[in-house]
Amino acid sequence: MKKISALLTLVLAAFAVAQEPAVKEPRVTVLKASRLFDVKSGSLRRDAFVVVEGNRIRSVSGAAPAGVPVIDLGDATLLPGFIDAHAHLTAMVTDDYNEGFYEYMTRQPTEQVLLASTYARATLEAGFTTVRDLGSADALDVGLRNGIAKGWVPGPRMLVAVRPIGAIGGHADDDAYSPNRRIPQLGPADGICSGPAECRAAVRYQIKNGADVIKVMASGGVTSLNDPLASVQFSAEELSAIVDEAHSWGKKVAAHCHPDAAVRRAAEAGVDSIEHGSFATPATYALMKSKGTYLVPTLLAMVWTEEHAASYTPAMAAKARAANEAAARSFRDALASGVKIAFGTDSAVSPHGLNARQFAIMTGFGMTPAAALLSATSVNAELLGISDRVGSIEAGKLADLVGVPGNPLEDIRVTEHVLFVMKEGAVVKGPR
């Protein structure tokens, strides 16, 4: 009986082992292109092989390992996945402001986030594997971020701000609807605050609701009806409270600023990046450089709004023209100052998927092609605090890779014609 029992135990043990899933080896793929952009030197390497194992880069060398499939992109350049540090993936510009406003107001949040998933896919297929999403209503950005991270829908990796922090009547607040049609007034939970205490509470609410980064509207904006573009919308004490609270939670702060006075006040308060900076002066850029504050000049948004001014209200169109006229001069001053310049498009103001058009605008204003590419790769990775994972093609980094035809250092516009995209080792676009 003991022998039978022992034999039965062995049989059951063997059966249990047989039922255990076999350990699956990570898939290995090799990518080859005529050129590879090296962010450390800002130059191109010739005929490099990138070995991808699972979701990470295993090695970058001059030869492919034997017996491994090779994706040969031919006369192309491999770059790190692009990063857009200022986008709004849950909204989209329309040809008519009034019609778009009506459609947005009558659309359910579930409809809007489903629509936003199409914007996310277009952005990813344009080569942008990471996006910092700087403001959304109804926590749509949180839902989209989580859905992408769980693999439910394709899209770029997202760092989100939830609701922007804004002053009453300012750029983040609702426009001044008629009192008999007004929805309840917004408060700190919605990001709208007055005084340091409420501003700290507003920051805490956004973090509670899932924010990776805090966005503050420190000045007036183009696409709002109430506020002049030149208005400075928070006191120094309020801005300092916002920055201190965010930093105490380990969150960076991005400050929307157009006029120089707002840029200077936000930089003095210790924000991590200035968004737009349309009217900033050389003296303010010197301050930003001394404090390590990044500039995220959303040049594509400026150009787009002026070119499509007819689709906005007259007041918005006038503000867009003023901002755009100042942007070229301000950007050149920023270049001359040596301040750190990051890549951000404010997409939603322009259609999603056109992000790469900003490279040509930056170079047209005096930036070198290499510096423009760095702004959307290693510089942005540092700004977002994720340079340990992305921003360069190096062993150990996540396999976020983009292939463009030809040589982007000779013709930056090839970035607008992405032929290959890989995110975390999975091919999103191009040969497999």
Which CATH number applies to 28-80+395-429?
2.30.40.10
Token pair recorded at residue 88: 């709004």
pLDDT of residue 178: 60
Tell me if residue 70 falls in helix, strand or coil: strand
Angle, helix 314-337 to helix 282-291, in steps of 10 degrees? 60
- Evaluate whether 28-80+395-429 and 82-355 have a shared fold: no
Q: Could you give the CA distance from residue 14 to residue 240 in angstroms, rounded to a whole number? A: 65
* Residue 313 CB neighbours (<10 A): 14
Q: Are 308 and 119 in contact (CB under 8 A)?
A: no
Closest to 410 in 3D by CA, of 375, 370, 374: 370
Token pair recorded at residue 383: 């700004």
C-alpha dist (Å) from residue 213 to 86, 199, 384: 11, 15, 9
The answer for 86, left when phi > 0, alpha when psi is -120 to 50, beta otherwise, is beta
How do strand 70-72 and strand 28-32 relate by DSSP bridges? Answer: parallel
Tell me if residue 226 falls in helix, strand or coil: coil
pLDDT of residue 319: 82
What dihedral angle (degrees, nearest 10) is formed by the CA atoms of 294, 295, 301, 303? -150
How do strand 28-32 and strand 401-405 relate by DSSP bridges? Answer: unpaired
pLDDT of residue 176: 59
Beta strands in 193-325, from DSSP E residues, in sequence order: 214-217, 253-257, 273-276, 294-296
pLDDT of residue 21: 53
Q: What is the mean pLDDT of each run of 10 residues along the chain (432 residues)?
A: 49 48 76 96 93 96 85 96 98 79 82 95 98 95 97 98 91 66 75 96 97 96 78 95 98 97 98 96 98 97 85 80 88 97 96 97 97 98 98 98 98 98 97 82
Give DSSP secondary structure letters for 91-151.
Answer: ----SSHHHHHHHHHHS-HHHHHHHHHHHHHHHHHTTEEEEEE---STTHHHHHHHHHHTT
pLDDT of residue 128: 98
Q: Are 224 and 166 in contact (CB under 8 A)?
A: no
Q: Are 80 and 377 in contact (CB under 8 A)?
A: yes
pLDDT of residue 47: 84
Q: Could you give the CA distance from residue 168 to residue 192 in angstroms, rounded to a whole number? A: 6
pLDDT of residue 186: 83
Domain 82-355 has CATH 1.10.443.10: no
pLDDT of residue 225: 73
Q: How far apart are the first and last CA of the chain?
A: 59
pLDDT of residue 5: 53
What dihedral angle (degrees, nearest 10) is formed by the CA atoms of 393, 427, 128, 386? -50
Q: Domain limits of the chain?
A: 28-80+395-429, 82-355
* Residue 185 CB neighbours (<10 A): 10
Closest to 190 in 3D by CA, of 178, 212, 208: 208
